[in-house]
Amino acid sequence: MSDLIEIIDSLENRISKLLHKYEFMKQQNTDLKEKIAELESNSELQVDQLRQWEEKFSALKNANAMLGSDEHKRETKLKINALIREIDMCIAQLSE
């Protein structure tokens, strides 16, 4: 009979330990899900910031090309030619 009681006590202890581990793992899982959500949000912010910086870089590059810097003479000429073509198309449409 005492063997049966020892077995039951042992099972109760094991079940208790498993329940504690389960609760700990459940809490850890919740914490990790929150961390993932935070990191995903942070990642989206960084992607948006990168996109904004790329747009600013492109605008600065275009402005530099329009100013006619020595580095971007070819780009400046192409941009001026494109603007002239647009103006010519507008004049042609107005004269119709």
Q: DSSP readout, the chain?
A: -HHHHHHHHHHHHHHHHHHHHHHHHHHHHHHHHHHHHHHHHHHHHHHHHHHHHHHHHHHHHHHHHHHT-GGGHHHHHHHHHHHHHHHHHHHHHHH-
C-alpha distances (whole Å) from 11 to each of 4, 8, 92 are: 10, 5, 92
User: Which pTM value belongs to this model?
Assistant: 0.51
Q: What is the CA radius of gyration of the chain?
A: 35
Q: Quick one: pLDDT at residue 87?
A: 94
Model confidence over 18-72: pLDDT tens digits?
999 999 999 999 999 999 999 999 999 999 999 999 999 988 877 776 776 666 6
